[in-house]
Structure 1
Amino acid sequence: MPAPQPRPGPAAMALARLEQVDPGAHRRVRGLRLVTAYGLAAMLGLMPQIEQHAGRNVSLSVIAASFALWASVSENRATRWESSRDLTLFCISAGLGAVSYILLVRLLHIGGPAELELPLVTGAFCVGYFKRFTPFSAGIGSQIFIGQLLAYTAGLRLDDISVILIATPIAVLAAVVPRLLSGPAEHPITVPAAATEFDDWIPVEFIMGLQAAAAALVIVALNGEFGLEKSSWAIAACTYVITNSTAATIARVRSRILGTMIGVPIAIACLPLAVEAPLVVWLAAALAMIVYAMALPERYDIACGAYAFALILTLAVSGENDFFELVARAWETIIGGALGMIAALLLRPVFARHRKSSAGS
């Protein structure tokens, strides 16, 4: 009879957890690339020669930087050529998403504050739908939603399409150049495929898109009825927790809420630095985004906490100092995550029942 293996001590357990957050230098390089892409796009967007073509008071810098950042998050290739190609397509997808939001607002004659969120439901569907296929398709769906979200938060109108046309190539340049420089130091992230719980009679990707869209639509209705502080954060939360497995969705909801509930208070405790030492705050936010890149996808809770910390600090240093609006990041995430989980729990049994009845017959 083999002797029982001794339990690992606290130091060994701590090192094992650290390995999950920092599995190798290539993740740190990836994190640095994310920060570099964001900073490069923001700097290019602030150049007077470029910014003067942006029209009215719209932050070209923020839009271009966000396109580049989230394209870099979604990119997952081994070679420079494949990465550059995907980054270009991701940035273009974000631009198309922003344009689609503007056109939907115009075509549907949307005017009310809550109604302006309705086009985001289509983006939420795209995230859930395209996530089913490959990491590349998941990136396309995510960027469409990101583009819509940025157009909504920036209040872009039909005459602001020129801003998107300028921001997109800036984002492409800012995302591609750091990837060319990082070269073989980066490794693609392998994500194991989750087992599906749905029957083949309806495509799994359609169900995932429907779950995300349904949760987003409920948030739009809640905002129209009660006036949520930052309902777009809740829509983002319910959209990105959806997977093709109820258990995995619940796990992502738990991780997202836990990480946000830790990251937001820490960031709020650092708010005095936003006035006294803004450069320190920007450095802390950059380090948080590096941790974000290192933790994905194994430690989604740490990634969500790092992103919430970076978001609150960057909002504060950019001038948004309303305490309740910043704290809203926590409860909006809870609302969005909970609705995403409810959508998964309520919609899945509809198709499970069909599978059981088919098996019984």
Structure 2
Amino acid sequence: MSAFQRSIGTAADWLDRVDPGTHRRIKGLRLVTAYGIAAALGTLQDVVRDVPGNVSLGYLAGSFALWASVSEARTTRPESARDLVLLSFAAAFGAILCALLARPLQLTGRAGPELVLVSGAFLVGYLKRFGILGAGLGSQIYIGELLAYGTHLAVADVRAILIAAVIAAMASVVPRMLSGPAERPAVTAALTPGPLPQAGQYSPEFFMGLQASVGALVIVALNGLIGLEESAWAITACTYVVAGSATGTIQRVRRRILGTLVGVPLGIACLPLAEHAPLLIWIVAALAMVIYAMALPERYDIACAAFAFTLIVTLAASGVHAIPLLAARAWETLLGGALGLAAAVCLFPLRPSTSGE
């Protein structure tokens, strides 16, 4: 048996251990398909002709569809279709909110527009109290804000955002209808509510939102004082490491740091390939997102490594090759994780429920 055949066999064995029923692989293929359909529809001339030239409709719609598919976790197709539509428009709501507030917040200083991300960071934690759909809606609102902030959307782009949401809803529903009962969703820690509240106290999800938003506010202040290259990614890391207990947050921070330290160097090592063979690198990125979907419920470290790798190589394939800029996404992600940990430990620390994390 050749070394190549042994490698294929080892990879197949690993896939079977992580995903014995192939259900998560199917979800991974579904979210990649949703992104591809939405991105393709967003580039059609008949669709984009009335959209302002500064808006990448394909990127916006593809991102809405991708993360809606990640956050959706229903067992039946009608429920999944309903949630995917709601999640797509939740992302549009977040993007519109950021677009409307961007100009007024610029008056508060260099980091002013980032303040809108603080509201999204709070909702990621707080809306978990309303179950799986609530957790997904909070995450999508934040992602919509993040996309709008990163692409500098403004009031004039509201129509484009709504069109992107319609495209994303259609593009994410179609693959889910085809996957059918072959997919058995696993609820990730990011969609899991906090511990049960005690009588007379605020819900744990309120404190989870407060922890994430305070950490995000500190990052905004640091950006205003010293300037951070990729501060939005620090806010993102801070937001998503907060778990239902201080112990859970420590575990998520450790796994995110480990995954980032593996995924980013691998992505940077592939920069020459991204420059000379962009089609191949997009295929590899798609495979990495399938691994992301497989690993996310139980192996957050592998999921973070896969996503970090995908982020670096797709940026490179899109023309971003500056290593200092790409590296900034790594160390500022670590900064965000550390601040999220500090907030979870020092600011209203939560105890794990009896059922565990």
With normalisation by structure 2, the TM-score equals: 0.90
Equivalent residue, structure 2, for 1:206: 206
Gap change, CA 1:34 and 1:257, over 3 Å in 2:
same
What does 1:175-324 correspond to in 2, within 5 Å? 175-190=172-187, 196=195, 199-200=198-199, 201-324=201-324
Q: 2:329 & 2:193 partners in 1: Cα distance?
A: 29
The answer to whether the Cα contact below 8 Å between 1:130 and 1:137 also exists between their aligned partners in 2 is: yes
Which one-letter code corresponds to 2:126 in the other structure? Y
Q: 1:292 & 1:24 partners in 2: Cα distance?
A: 16
Q: Deviations over 1:203-248 (max 9, x none)?
A: 2121111001000000001111111110011000000011121000
With normalisation by structure 1, the TM-score equals: 0.89
SS at 1:156's partner residue?
A: coil
Q: Could you tell me how far 1:187 is from its partner in structure 2?
A: 0.5
Q: Could you tell me how far 1:297 is from its partner in structure 2?
A: 1.1
Q: Could you tell me how far 1:130 is from its partner in structure 2?
A: 1.3
For this pair of structures, how many residues does the alignment match? 338
Q: 1:299 & 1:47 partners in 2: Cα distance?
A: 38
Which one-letter code corresponds to 1:153 in the other structure? G
SS at 2:50's partner residue?
A: coil
Which one-letter code corresponds to 1:252 in the other structure? R
Equivalent residue, structure 2, for 1:112: 109
Taking every aligned residue pair, what percent have the same amino acid on both sides? 58
The answer to whether the Cα contact below 8 Å between 2:34 and 2:175 also exists between their aligned partners in 1 is: yes
The answer to whether the Cα contact below 8 Å between 1:238 and 1:337 also exists between their aligned partners in 2 is: yes
Equivalent residue, structure 2, for 1:343: 343
The answer to whether the Cα contact below 8 Å between 1:101 and 1:148 also exists between their aligned partners in 2 is: yes
Q: 1:64 & 1:115 partners in 2: Cα distance?
A: 26
Gap change, CA 1:197 and 1:324, over 3 Å in 2:
farther
Q: 2:146 & 2:229 partners in 1: Cα distance?
A: 16
SS at 1:134's partner residue?
A: helix
Q: Deviations over 1:300-336 (max 9, x none)?
A: 0000000000010000000111111111121011100
After TM superposition, the structure 1 stretch with the greater mean CA deviation from structure 2, 133-142 or 255-264, is 133-142
Q: 2:193 & 2:118 partners in 1: Cα distance?
A: 25
Gap change, CA 1:199 and 1:27, over 3 Å in 2:
same
Q: Which runs of 5+ in 1 are unaligned?
A: 1-13, 353-361
The answer to whether the Cα contact below 8 Å between 1:20 and 1:295 also exists between their aligned partners in 2 is: no
The answer to whether the Cα contact below 8 Å between 1:98 and 1:149 also exists between their aligned partners in 2 is: yes
After TM superposition, the structure 1 stretch with the greater mean CA deviation from structure 2, 298-307 or 18-27, is 18-27
Q: Which runs of 5+ in 2 are unaligned?
A: 1-10, 352-357
Q: Could you tell me how far 1:102 is from its partner in structure 2?
A: 1.8
Q: 2:27 & 2:197 partners in 1: Cα distance?
A: 35
Which one-letter code corresponds to 2:51 in the other structure? A
